[in-house]
Amino acid sequence: MGKRVGVLMGGWGEEREVSLKTGEAAVAALEAEGHTVTRVFAGPGLDRILRTAELDVAFLALHGRMGEDGKVQGLLELLELPYTGSGVLASALAMNKPFAKKLFRLHNLPTPQGYRIGRDELALLEERHGDLGFPCVVKPACGGSSLGLALVREPEALAPAVAEACRYGGEALVERFVRGREVTVGILGGEVLGSCEIAAPREGFDYEAKYKGGTNYFLPPRLSATRLANVESLALSAWRALGCRGYGRVDLICSEEQNDFVLEVNTLPGLTPTSLLPKIAAQRGIGFAQLVERILGLATRDEAGVAGMPGMASAVQPVSLRAVAG
């Protein structure tokens, strides 16, 4: 049976444009599958919109801060509305790259050496950088879509790159550059869906390369079967280390020295015509509409109740907001 689905798109941040593209693609696919779809443009007053929308489930097409970082997920938990993607804690951890790296290390998962620095700590940059060396990668500590990403080759370019990255949330992550193949692993329903190698026209898969062409994709990646199996196992371990669920992508670097490193976990990857997860799904024979339908089928929410409490509604059942609105 068709569901009343609210596709949450737009949002507050710098990834609004990408979110709108993901949202419109999801709307078309869900309507083709027979669902009643409402476009929900996220922004101030989102709670009031959701209380009156009479939805069965929320399909999250949001990206970046205030959408992928656990804040909207927390609102949906309060409204008892199931939603796609990871829960509150996993979303927050994955979005905060420095904290995610700490958990990767706790689980003995290799990740490039690096450090976090805030916009109010730029005077300490040289001291923090220490012997990390060059080239290095600078990116926002919390963000996506490769916005604010820079490959820094010379010491004099470090401070401007960090200042630019800090524009997106106030903190930057500086990592040792690892030369190798960039591979992303798609995960659906807690299992590896497949992998894709990203061959950008220049080192560093930045916003221009990601959304404006010139990048080549190899499905499967140009790795031996044994090494690819190890890479996909590493990706799934990183996914589980953060407590993710539903679907997503894990980005890694496969170095020329035969070592593999986890870069980050994306809990709400893009679903635009150029996005990587749909490419991976297509390689497995899963069309775009089918992928979106499977993502919708995984929608749930955190189990917040106490097991066995009388009158406690199941945390994963769709709940109408009509009563809440009244």
Residues with a catalytic annotation lie at 15, 145, 275
CB burial of residue 63 (10 Å; 0-12, 13-18, 19+): buried
Q: Looking at this protein, which amino acid is placed at residue 27?
A: V
> Which residue in this structure is represented by tokens 């630019």?
164
Was 266 annotated as part of a binding site? yes
Q: What phi and psi values does residue 8 have, to the nearest 5 degrees?
A: -85, 120
Structure tokens that stand for 30 in this block: 């869900």
Instruction: Count CA atoms within 13 Å of residue 144 on its CB side.
Output: 29
Which residues make Cβ contacts (< 8 Å) with residue 2, sequence separation at least 6? 33, 34, 35, 36
Was 80 annotated as part of a binding site? no
> Which residue in this structure is represented by tokens 């080549």?
216
Q: Looking at this protein, which amino acid is placed at residue 232?
A: E
Q: Kindly provide the b/e burial profile for residues 27-54, where b requires at least 16 CB atoms within 10 angstroms of the residue's own CB.
A: bebbeebebebbebbbeeebeebbbebe
Q: What span, in angstroms and rounded, lies between the C-alpha atoms of 265 and 34?
A: 31
Do 294 and 188 form a contact (C-beta atoms < 8 A)? yes
Was 259 annotated as part of a binding site? no
Coil vs helix vs strand at 246: coil
Do 196 and 232 form a contact (C-beta atoms < 8 A)? no
Residues annotated within the binding site for Mg(2+) are: 251, 264, 266
Residues annotated within the binding site are: 251, 264, 266
